[in-house]
Structure 1
Amino acid sequence: MGARGWTASCYWATGVLNALWGATLPATDARLDLGPGRIGGLLMALAIGALVAMPLAGRAADRWTGRRLLRWAMPGAVVALGLTAFAPSAGVLMVTAVVFGMLSGALNVALSLQAVNVERTTGRPVMGSMHGTWTLGAVLGGAAVTTALHLNTPVQPLLLTATTLLLPTTLTLTHKLSPFAAAAPATKAVAEEVTGEVRRGWVVVGLGVVGAAGFLTEGAATDWAGLHATRVLGADPAIGSLVYTAFFVAMTVVRFAGDPVRARLGPALTIRIAGATATAGYGLVLLSGVIETSPVGTAMVGWVLAGAGMAVVWPVVVSTLGTSGASARRLSTVTTISYGGGLVGPALIGSVASHAGLPTALLIPAALAVLVAAAAPAVLKLTGGTPITVN
């Protein structure tokens, strides 16, 4: 198995790791009697830890390489998750969540750098399929946790067993990663680094904003698609769950198909089509609340289109930045800004929904989808990267 296969396996294992955290959270809530307020604080602590660590991880990778960062960040994140099983109280759990968040943030940066290096050395786009593999790992991990909990397995032994099995797996995977030959950045990227540092800094911020728009728009669907179907359209909970599943399936399928599409069309056109597709999807979702004929079916089609469009936004952003010859520090800056959008998004939409209703709140991700379609192509072109094409 070559560099691409080992890297994909790392993405898969990280998806499993994230599922172990998210899928066991309700059981941890029951064990420690956390309640909604403490769970909200716990998730915020996790996110803050990740956002603090990401820029630091970029600097560390510039100094020691992304491969070395991945070698300690991935097993470290597994150990940190295992420590949450020992937490005797909400306060201790909060501390372990910060540590887990910091290591997860470093892991996200390291994975992106590893995938960028695979693209640089092979000359083939892989970023979409890597994230698709992450999704499959998350689905598998979530299914395993659900099965174990249905068999009345206590959450503490479940977490300890899972992390004990995952730790040697991640150590093996990261050990198998071989060093990459140094890849020369594109000529135009070099020129911009020397003569246009300020403008390039604005480009990095612009890419971060595009990524944030993508994460916020994606998060709006994953958090609110089912609730929109049940609360606004009057569907029963089973149908609400189906709407969420349809969005998730569409996103996964398009992530695996997105790499060859991007290779043929180029990143700018790909992201324009992606934004337009997501815009059309959100348009149907908003219209579903005012039409009489098959409102749930209309919304479901809309969510499928939104998932298909948003699936490629982050892979295109990080891949384009990587092929421009940008440093690990710049990539981590874009990652931090982008994930910040994913952090703020659910809370912002929830706040607006509580005051003006969910349909009004969904105008926010709809507007951001328009922003991606209209502005993202121009930002991508300013990176000066050389598009990867099909060989």
Structure 2
Amino acid sequence: MKPTIAHYALTGALNALWGASLPATDARLDLGEARLGTLLLALSLGVLAAMPAAGWAADRWGARRLLRVTAPATALALAAPVAAPGFTSLLAAAFGLGLLMGALNVALTVRAVAVERLRRKPVISLMHGMWTLGAVAGGAATAAALHAGAEARWFVAVGGLALALGFAATGRRLGPDAPPPAPTENVAGKGPGMGALVLLGVIGAAAFLTEGAATDWAGIHARRVLGADPATASLVYTAFFAAMTAMRFAGDAVRTRLGAATTVLAAGVTASAGYALVLLSPLTGLGTAFAGWILAGIGMAVVWPVVTSALGAAGASGRRLSTVGAISYGGGLAGPAVIGFTASASSLSAALVIPAALALVVALAAPPVLRALTTVDGPQGRRTGPGYVT
């Protein structure tokens, strides 16, 4: 399991290195808001385009082999966007990086499911917690280097090379993939049917949009709506991120005790309550907003790990995992725009009603779908699989 955990941590650092380098690229090419948005759209389109093919590749060649190829390649590809001489080449480089990121994401998900099958207990939330820690470390290292005067293009190139070497070293230690369990849902013998996949994808999209609303808008809400100074506003985001990280490390134990369906029910209710406090904060003050964002982070931290674990327990193939992932990440990518357009048409407080409602949708819609994916066997019809209890 340790090499897979290391891959999650390194991937978090990789994403942070990309994100933290964007301001330098913006300044070097004088992109502006519109072209920066187009750049991020190109990256996102690459991610979504790669996911179906990556799911097919994981089924054909195995997640271990796919991870060994995509992880170092993605790290090396970080250097292309920051070295691009113009906007057109920057878009091409970002789309290529997005393709590799999408394939890497699928490989990681399929591999995490395989590890959980081998260990026969929940571990996926822990892996996502390591991703978060890797992102924090990568972002801090990049910020420190740029603050010290390092040239962004060289730092990202060197950092990408170091990550590629780390991926290569841990990739050699990856054990064999676990064989999938017997499928539990459709008679074709291929695991969950398309209806369940679409439902879980929509649930994942709702969760990602709710999470993205916090990461993108928590600080802005504190500053614009509540009148907090910039330093205090940034602490609101930090509180959300810290709560999410802590819950991810506790998430596997919670899921073992409560089961997948009850865990997601509690998660959605908690996040919805958190957003309710955020919506009340203009009347009650900044402290209420802090409490609300902390509850939102605690709630949203475990939804995606539970969804992927349930799919794995139900015998989902790599293609089916990638289908759910593409739908879910598509919702997450659309989230910031939805919130932004709604805020511009009305107000930011009104826009935050959307993630509050979606958190409640997760709480109500996810448990029945997760229960339907649960394996039922044995003379007493006991439900089995990672994180399930009767």
Fold conserved between structures, TM > 0.5: yes
- How far the C-alpha of 1:184 sits from its partner, in A, is 2.6
Is 1:194 the counterpart of 2:188? The answer is yes
Cα shift readout 1:79-111 (whole Å, capped 9, x = no counterpart): 211222321111111101001001000000000
Q: Deviations over 1:38-69 (max 9, x none)?
A: 11000000000000000110011111111111
Give the secondary structure class of the aligned counterpart of 1:233: coil
1:368 aligns with 2:362: no
The one-letter amino acid of 1:372's match is: V
Structure 2 segments unaligned to the other structure (5+ residues): 376-383
3-state SS, counterpart of residue 207 of structure 1: helix
CA distance in 2, matches of 1:25, 1:180: 36
Query: 266-275 or 149-158, which moves further after superposition?
Result: 149-158
Map 1:80-119; keep pairs closer than 5 Å. Answer: 80-119=77-116
Task: Report if aligned partners of 1:205, 1:334 keep a CA contact under 8 Å in 2.
Answer: yes
Match of 1:204 among 173, 197, 207: 197
**Among the aligned pairs, what percent are the same residue?**
56
107 and 156 in structure 1: CA distance in 2 versus 1, 3 angstrom threshold: same
Aligned to 2:381: none
Alignment partner of 2:272 out of 272, 279, 283: 279
Matches within 5 A, 1:48-63: 48-63=45-60
CA distance in 1: counterparts of 2:90 and 2:57, whole angstroms: 27
Contact (CA 8 Å) 2:81, 2:93: kept in 1 or not?
Answer: yes
CA contact (8 A) 1:193 1:200 kept: no
Q: 1:245 aligned to 2:242? A: no
CA shift, 1:387, in A, is 2.9
Structure 2 CA distance, aligned partners of 1:32 and 1:39? 10
Cα distance in 2 between the residues matched to 1:358 and 1:108 = 31
| Map of 1:288 onto structure 2 | 281
CA distance in 2: counterparts of 1:287 and 1:85, whole angstroms = 42
Residue in structure 2 matched with residue 316 of structure 1 by the alignment: 306
Q: Secondary structure at 2:193's aligned position in 1?
A: helix
Of the candidates 211, 216, 225, which is equivalent to residue 218 of structure 1? 211
Task: Work out the CA distance in 1 between the residues paired with 2:187 and 2:286.
Answer: 50
What amino acid is the match of 2:362? V
Does the 8 Å CA contact 1:268/1:376 hold for their aligned counterparts?
yes
Q: Deviations over 1:14-58 (max 9, x none)?
A: 011001100010011111111111110000000000000001100
Cα distance in 2 for residues equivalent to 1:205 and 1:321: 12
**Which secondary structure does the structure 1 equivalent of 2:373 belong to?**
coil
TM-score (norm 1): 0.95
Task: Report the number of matched residues.
Answer: 381
Aligned to 1:157: 154
Deviation at 1:389, TM superposition (A): 4.8
TM normalised by structure 2 equals: 0.95
Residue identity opposite 2:291 in structure 1? V
Query: Which residue number corresponds to residue 374 of structure 2?
Result: 384
**Pair 256,371 (structure 1): closer, same or farther in 2 beyond 3 Å:** same
Offset at residue 330 of structure 1 (A):
0.3
**CA shift at 1:181, angstroms?**
4.0
Distance in 2 (CA, whole Å) between partners of 1:89 and 1:138 is 28
What is the CA–CA distance in structure 1 between the aligned matches of 2:294 and 2:173, rounded to whole Å?
37
- 1:194 Cα offset (Å): 2.6
- Whole-angstrom CA distance in 2 between matches of 1:181 and 1:303: 38
Aligned partner of 2:74 in structure 1 is 77
Q: After TM superposition, what 4+ stretches of structure 1 lie above 6 angstroms from structure 2?
A: none
What is the CA deviation profile of residues 288-339 of structure 1, one whole-angstrom value per residue up to 9, with x for unaligned ones?
A: 12x2x4x100011000000000000100111110111111100000000000
State the partner residue of 2:378: none
8 A Cα contact 1:185 1:326, kept in partner: no
Deviation at 1:196, TM superposition (A): 10
Would you say 1:180 and 2:177 are equivalent positions?
Answer: yes
Is contact 2:260-2:387 (8 Å) kept?
no
1:260/1:390 contact within 8 Å kept = no
Deviation at 1:390, TM superposition (A): 9.6
Superposed displacement of residue 235, structure 1:
1.0
Aligned-residue Cα RMSD (Å) equals 1.6
8 Å Cα contact 1:214-1:310 kept in structure 2:
yes
How many Å apart are 1:160 and its aligned residue?
A: 1.3
- Runs of 5+ unmatched residues, structure 1: none
Read off the aligned partner of 2:87 and give its amino acid letter: A
